[in-house]
Amino acid sequence: MSTQSTVKVVTTHVLSEMKLRGEKISMLTAYDYSMARIVDAAGIDVILVGDSASNVMAGHETTLPITLDQMIYHGASVVRGVKRALVVVDLPFGSYQGNSKEALSSAIRIMKETAADAVKLEGGIEVIESIKRILSAGIPVMGHLGLTPQSIHKFGTYTVRAKEEAEAQKLIEDAHLLEEAGCFAMVLEKIPAALAEKVSKELTIPTIGIGAGGGTDGQVLVIHDMLGINREFSPRFLRRYADLYSTMTEAVGHYIDDVKNRDFPNEKEQY
Ligand code: KIV
């Protein structure tokens, strides 16, 4: 029996209804047209055009180098492949922090040039003015708390966040701040499961967890990680649903052999 949502087109309103009736929200990243088509046709609720494109598409060590123009390219490619899912595009590092006017103009560019449904940005009180300004233009905002990879140079590691009481308390306050400002949902990344569950119960907007346990209202993974394309990254929270690295390596090896052996193309494969 399929457990996919029966919803036709996913909107931010649909996500809040899903939370109300206790239906879990499924979210995956995608960065290009072909992958987005597959993920959407499979029935995913939300597609995130994450700035993790900086890592898995461009090969950078961090998410910091990716630019607004590059995020717009990925976002527009994804939107062209999607019929049903809600598409959220990450605002990249440097496009919204410390300047709410610039944040608004970055978000407007994303909405105009990609036709996505919403933007996501990282942080709590530090970026609340940017969030409010973007929301004032009618652009839906997804928040992102816990491990915020754009702040890697502040924290120095990608380890679990908010294990200490003070950081957990700040995260709870930030979560309420984002909800009060008008965010429609938020990602909770790599925090203790008990804390994520507490926040999810306290909030009326949906929480989407990654490495945050089963108590959040939905789950998100990076598609290259869950399909096993990216082998190097193996955190505890990651479940691999395929081993595409092996499948693709074997297929490419097979092709190379066929070319070298003059087996490809055969008579039927030519004009
Ligand atoms: O960029 C990204 O892929 C993300 C997810 C890990 C939530 O922000």
Residue 7 has pLDDT above 90, yes or no: no
Per-residue pLDDT reduced to its tens digit, 11-52: 999 999 999 999 999 999 999 999 999 999 999 999 999 999
- Nearest CA among 100, 98, 177 for reference residue 139: 100
- Nearest CA among 130, 124, 196 for reference residue 163: 196
Long-range contacts from 68-71, C-beta under 8 angstroms, 24+ separation? 68/92, 68/95, 68/106, 68/109, 68/110, 71/110
Question: How many angstroms separate the alpha carbon of residue 121 from the centre of ligand 1?
Answer: 10
The answer to whether 133 and 181 are in contact (CB under 8 A) is no
164 flagged as catalytic: no
What is the average pLDDT value for the chain, to the nearest integer? 96
Please tell me the residue having the least CA distance from ligand 1 atom 5.
50
Is any atom of ligand 1 closer than 6 Å to the C-beta of 199? no
pTM: 0.96
- Note the residue count of the chain: 271
Question: How many angstroms separate the alpha carbon of residue 175 from the centre of ligand 1?
Answer: 17
Is any atom of ligand 1 closer than 6 Å to the C-beta of 50? yes
Is any atom of ligand 1 closer than 6 Å to the C-beta of 91? no
Pairing of strands 86-90, 218-221: unpaired
| Active-site residue identified among 23, 179, 189, 197 | 189
Q: Which amino acid is at 172?
A: I
